[in-house]
Amino acid sequence: MIRLVASDMDGTLLNRYGKVSLKNQAAVHALNRRNIGFVVCTGRNYADAYAPLKEAGISCDIICMNGAAVFSSEGEQIRKQTLFKSQISRILNICQPFSVLYDFMTDEGSYTTSSPEEFKASFENKIFLSMVSEEHTFETIVKRFQFVSEEVLLHSETDIYKMSIVHEDPQVLSYIRSCLEKEEGISIASSAATNLEITHFYAQKGNALLEYAINAKIHPREILAMGDSENDLSMLILPLGYTVAMDNGSDVIKKNARLVTRSNEEDGVAAAIETLVLSDAALATG
């Protein structure tokens, strides 16, 4: 019997407007009534993950920034794994020959070393934050960022949980990735064709989810996990009860997940929960 459902957000729990649909809301609330756990596993920072959940009336623990931090439903941080400044320095050196843009996720929101002009042009061309939902404008997004120099960032005491490297050319990103893969102690994933997401090696959704389950005394076979993009792969390759790819998911996710549900625009999360967790047949296995 499934005792915990873990869901990605963008492209999975959320629709293209960044909202939790009514059917997905109902499915999550039904889990709660059955005392079945629900946890979000997202690349977003805590504030950006919390907002749409609160709007949907969902109170749950949040594994955020690809596993670099975990927050309880009350907002208490219960896990933390940041990047070392030495790692960030090496990453910046590798990327230096290319005109990439950065998103550094911290406790104080996001930082970028891009100029406001570069940031705006990249956003308008759907390169920077290409996965942002349609509800957002440049004005709503730019408020979340602080513009700083690399020197200031590296010499500050600010913890950096995750950094995104953004470029319009997938071939450039592919080359950068091949260089980064030679570096020890980091994890590389992607949530869009125009980005690479870098965290500490121990900051992956899969690692964080297993640690979370151990603390909750839940066996991996009692977990259902859902996702759509490469940064979900670390949890969808685990020996869980069910691993589910969204119909809108990438080919690598569909290949590695055991099952495929409907798309995020067709309430795929609700369909998976209703069939695999809440149906009479699923409950009978308990």
pLDDT digits (tens, 9 = 90+) for 171-213: 999 999 999 999 999 999 988 888 899 999 999 999 999 999 9
At 216-267, the pLDDT tens digits run 999 999 999 999 999 999 999 999 999 999 999 999 999 999 999 999 999 9
At 37-47, the pLDDT tens digits run 999 999 999 99
Sheet of strand 61-64, all strands in order from the earlier edge strand to the far edge: 77-80, 69-71, 61-64, 37-41, 4-7, 223-227, 242-245, 259-260
Q: What is the pLDDT of the chain when averaged over all its residues? A: 92
Domain boundaries, the chain: 4-80+204-284, 85-200
Which tokens hold the place of 252?
């690598």
Residue 83, pLDDT score: 96
What CATH class does 85-200 carry? alpha beta
Separation CA 275–CA 277 (nearest Å): 6
Query: What three-state secondary structure class fits 29?
Result: helix
Separation CA 125–CA 93 (nearest Å): 26
Half-sphere CA count of 241, side-chain side, radius 13 A: 22
Local confidence band at 282 (pLDDT 50, 70, 90 cut-offs)? confident
Residue 178, pLDDT score: 97
Local confidence band at 121 (pLDDT 50, 70, 90 cut-offs)? confident
Assigned CATH for 4-80+204-284:
3.40.50.1000
Residue 119, pLDDT score: 79
Question: Do β-strands 69-71 and 61-64 pair in parallel, antiparallel, or remain unpaired?
Answer: antiparallel
Local confidence band at 123 (pLDDT 50, 70, 90 cut-offs)? confident
Residue 14, pLDDT score: 97
